């Protein structure tokens, strides 16, 4: 079963803007900015998780493909 990615924009403003006299182009730019900000935050969170869980395996793979071909135990030992 595939997981669905959902983007929810949390409001940080004061109340609703029903009484404001802003133009539709201004609100369109604002909504585009909110969507861009939400996608940026979502992608950075996913990149953070991928980096967190993928860094050590990447180092092991790079070490195993190096020229002297160390054993896995030699690669993982601190000495």
pLDDT tens for the 79 residues of the chain, in order: 455 556 565 555 555 555 555 556 677 888 999 999 999 999 999 999 999 999 989 988 888 888 888 888 887 887 7
pTM of the model as a whole = 0.47
60 contact partners, CB below 8 Å, separation of at least 6? 72, 75, 76
């Amino acid at each position: 079963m595939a997981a669905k990615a959902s983007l929810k924009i949390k409001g940080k403003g004061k109340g609703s803007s029903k009484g404001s006299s802003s133009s539709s182009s201004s609100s369109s730019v604002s909504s585009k900015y909110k969507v861009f900000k939400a996608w940026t935050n979502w992608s950075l969170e996913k990149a953070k998780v991928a980096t967190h869980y993928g860094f050590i395996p990447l180092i092991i793979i790079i070490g195993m493909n190096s020229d002297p071909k160390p054993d896995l135990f030699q690669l993982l030992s601190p000495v």
